[in-house]
Structure 1
Amino acid sequence: MNFTLRRLLVIGCIILLVSAYTDAQDFLGSKKDPVKVLKATSSMVIDGKADEASWKMAKAYSFDYFKNVEKPSDKQTTSFKILWDEDYIYLSYVCEDEFITARMKDRDGWTFVDDCAEIFLIPSSEKVNMHFGFELNLYTTANDFVFMNDMHKEGNFVVKSYNPEYEVAVHIDGTINDNSDMDKGWSMEMAIPYSAFHMVGPVTPLEEGAIWAFMAIRQDRNEEEGQRVTASTIFPLKGKAKDVHDPKNFGFLQFVKASK
């Protein structure tokens, strides 16, 4: 697809995105008890290690809600942290993983059937039926999109031409795609700029006290063949479908300053 056509498609979708702010479902999460996101107080280097002073101050959250578990080894631990400043949202995933696996190297491909870190963000505290999605595998291959829930009679609509620039780095403690040995795990850092969200209307600024909605996910693939993965999430998934894209399953985050 050439640049002009892609741009027209994105612009055309803005109308749909803005309308998504007017007809939305309730969130599961409560604004009264949001995840507190500390402001970074040190320079951030995105190298996959998350060893800056600011990361040491951030609270770690585990992904305790699992989907598609078939055996005990499918439940591997994940530690998630998040920070902010006026220009970026910073994300850290530290994942236990005995069998590190990734295949996809094409942007906007199926990274979600690899070992993969995902973040879905709604840059607003309002009831909205859309979110920005970022799904990264261990090659730092990106599947990024704008997801709109219940936009037409067929169901959901996904804008795949959304390809913003952001920083990602991975650190691997083991061997990728080699199940002859036991690995220890991997970690990933992301820095997503606030400018990545400027394509839609009422975007809440990155500032102290602001509230956004989000879902954080890990996809865990332990088998070299096939596409079976186990998903784990920061918030519980309700309903029969246990849909990670359903905004009723999202929680809230609030940007705060670090205490001195």
Structure 2
Amino acid sequence: MHRSALILLLTASLASAHAPETPRSYDCYRAPHPIKIDGKLDDPAWRRASWTTDFVDIRGDAGPTPRFRTRAKLLWDDTYLYIAAELQEPDVKATITQHDAVIYHDNDFELFLKPPAEVDTPDGSKQPATGYFEFEINALNTSWDLYLDKPYRLGGHADSSWNIPGLKTAVAVQGTLNNPSDTDHGWTVEIAIPFAAFASRLPVTAPHAGDQWRANFSRVEWPKGVDGHNPANNKPGVHTEDNWVWTPQGEINMHIPEHWGYLNFRNQP
């Protein structure tokens, strides 16, 4: 094969390996009443919401099928965005208790939100904001909320001083926490984020029916025998964490907002 043709073929292959699948889309319906946040997902309002498709490897088809099922559902009202998640897990465990610690050193659930917003430019015009929001939580109901002014690859910085005023979270464990001697079913999470919480970083307003946000949801799962807190303790070459997501990124990097899915706000199912 001619060298130039080989280069073109290799370039195309690499591009294909990193090309994400078509981003998923989710219709988020209005909640009929405020949701009681207790982690149990038994509030009647959740009957209105469909589950997302099951999470897949962050790379998409290039990665293995997740060992455990993860899925989420969402609702909204004038005040809150509600998120519920179900994580199958035969050994539910968590150790981090400090707010704004690096939660993904435990097994965790994560959400990424990029509401539409415009910011001023030096010439007085407006341009779409590059910033977005991240939230992580473990099975001890310990969380980390942060704002990023732009993706890391573009020189972005994580701002953990952004704390969500009025945040409500709860976790329910279907089994026993931190007891490897039995088999658990998993854990469920409920989150209520006030729309007003974003305004301290970006001029975000509460959505209306017909609005669309970019969003993605992730789960970090550390295989048995792998130490997420002290990587140096792991054997050389040992498999590190699994990253399972709602809509694939095409590579192991959650911080590519243009690869996230679409959250469509609707009034009625």
TM-score, with structure 1 as normaliser: 0.78
Is 1:231 the counterpart of 2:223? The answer is: no
Aligned residues of 1:101 and 1:224 also touching (Cα < 8 A): no
CA distance in 1, matches of 2:263, 2:65: 31
Map of 2:267 onto structure 1: 257
Map of 1:50 onto structure 2: 41
Q: Measure how far apart 1:116 and its partner are.
A: 1.2
Map of 1:10 onto structure 2: none
SS at match of 2:50: coil
Map of 1:15 onto structure 2: none
Q: Measure how far apart 1:225 and its partner are.
A: 5.6
Q: In the superposition, relative to structure 1, how do residues 28 and 225 fare at CA in structure 2: closer, same or farther (>3 Å)?
A: closer
Match runs of 1:143-158 below 5 Å: 143-149=144-150, 155-158=155-158
Map of 1:36 onto structure 2: 27
CA distance in 2, matches of 1:44, 1:135: 20
Map of 1:86 onto structure 2: 78
CA distance in 1, matches of 2:34, 2:94: 30
Aligned residues of 1:204 and 1:211 also touching (Cα < 8 A): no
CA distance in 1, matches of 2:200, 2:222: 33
Map of 1:24 onto structure 2: none
Aligned residues of 1:98 and 1:222 also touching (Cα < 8 A): no
1:60 to 25, 40, 51: 51
Map of 2:237 onto structure 1: none
Post-superposition Cα deviations, 1:109-151, rounded to whole Å, max 9, x if no partner, equal 1111212111111111775422111101111111110023357
CA distance in 1, matches of 2:218, 2:58: 11
CA distance in 2, matches of 1:139, 1:246: 28
SS at match of 1:195: helix
Match runs of 1:74-223 below 5 Å: 75-124=67-116, 128-149=129-150, 155-165=155-165, 166-223=167-224
CA distance in 2, matches of 1:167, 1:224: 33
CA distance in 2, matches of 1:207, 1:174: 39
Q: Measure how far apart 1:88 and its partner are.
A: 0.1
Aligned residues of 1:204 and 1:210 also touching (Cα < 8 A): no
CA distance in 2, matches of 1:144, 1:76: 25
CA distance in 1, matches of 2:55, 2:152: 31
Q: In the superposition, relative to structure 1, how do residues 225 and 34 fare at CA in structure 2: closer, same or farther (>3 Å)?
A: closer
Q: Number of residues paired by the alignment?
A: 227
CA distance in 1, matches of 2:86, 2:152: 35
**Identity across matched positions, percent:** 27
SS at match of 1:61: coil
Q: Measure how far apart 1:222 and its partner are.
A: 4.6
Q: Measure how far apart 1:237 and its partner are.
A: 1.2
CA distance in 2, matches of 1:156, 1:111: 20
Is 1:246 the counterpart of 2:238? The answer is: no
Structure 2 unaligned residues grouped into runs of 5+: 1-19, 119-127, 229-239
